[in-house]
Amino acid sequence: MRSFDEIYALAVARKGETSVLESLQHPKPKAEIAAMPADRFLSLMTKCIFQSGFNWKVVEAMWPGFEAAFDGFDIGHCAMLHDEDFARLVSDTRIVRHGPKIRAVQENAVFLSGIAREHGSAGAFFAGWPSENYVGLLDLLQKKGSRLGGNTGQYFLRFAGVDSFILSQSVVNRLIAEGVVDKPPTSAKDKAAVQAAFNAWRAQSGRSLTEISRILAVSID
C-alpha cells in the first residue's frame, strides 16, 4: 500500500496542480453538525433515499413539495404517520409516489427519535461518532435505519457534513490498486481493511476521511 504522500502525488499528476486538490470538500465542524436539528437529518436521509436509483434532478426539483408533504420533516409528526397518511402520500403529486420509500420516512423518524433519547440529539450523536470507526456508523445506519445501506447511507453522511469516505467506483479502484481489497468491500473483513487503510492515511497526513476519499478518487485513471 502506497503512503498518502505517494497517492497525493498521483492525484496532483492527474489534476496538474495542488490548488485543485486543496479546494476539495472538507467535513463540517463538529459544532455545526451538533447544532443541526433532527428534521434536517431526516430531510437529508429522505432525499438520498429517493434519489437512489432515480433521476436525482427530478427529486431535487420536487424537493419543496417533499418538504411540504412531510410537514418540514418534523420528527414528531413523521414518526406518527399512520395508514391513512400513507394512503394520502402515495397519491400526493408533490412527491415521488414510491410506497416503501415513503414508509422509510416514518421508520427513520422513529430511528432518529431513539438516537435523540439516548444521546441528547441526533446532531450530538453524528458529531460525536469517531472517524476511526466510520464503517461502524455505516453498519448502524444499515441495521437500525430504513433503506440507508450501501451508497445511500454514505451520501447521507457526506451531505450532512460528517467526516466520511464514499466507496465510489474510483475510490474502490484505488483501494484495489493499493492491495487493500480485491473487490468492492461488502464483507466485515473487507470493510475493516478499508477503515484501517483510511486510518493509516489519516495518521500520515493529518487530513480528514472526506479529504482523503476525494484525493483517492482523483488519483486513479
Residue 87 has a pLDDT of: 96
Q: Residue 58: what pLDDT?
A: 96
Predicted pLDDT at 98: 95
Give, to the nearest 10 degrees, the angle between helix 38-51 and helix 150-160. Answer: 140
Instruction: Look at residue 147 in the predicted model and tell me its pLDDT.
Output: 98
What distance in Å separates the CA atoms of residue 73 and residue 46, rounded to the nearest whole number?
A: 9
Multiple choice CATH, 31-154, 3.30.470.10, 1.10.340.30, 1.10.1200.10, 3.20.10.10: 1.10.340.30
Q: What's residue 24's pLDDT?
A: 77
| pLDDT value of residue 107 | 98
Q: What is the mean pLDDT of each run of 10 residues along the chain (221 residues)?
A: 96 83 88 98 98 94 98 98 96 96 98 98 98 98 97 97 97 98 97 98 97 95 74
Domain map of the chain by residue range? 4-27+165-218, 31-154
pLDDT score of 118? 97
The reported pLDDT for the residue numbered 151 is: 94
**DSSP reduced 3-state for 148:** coil
Nearest CA to 88 out of 73, 102, 72 is that of: 102
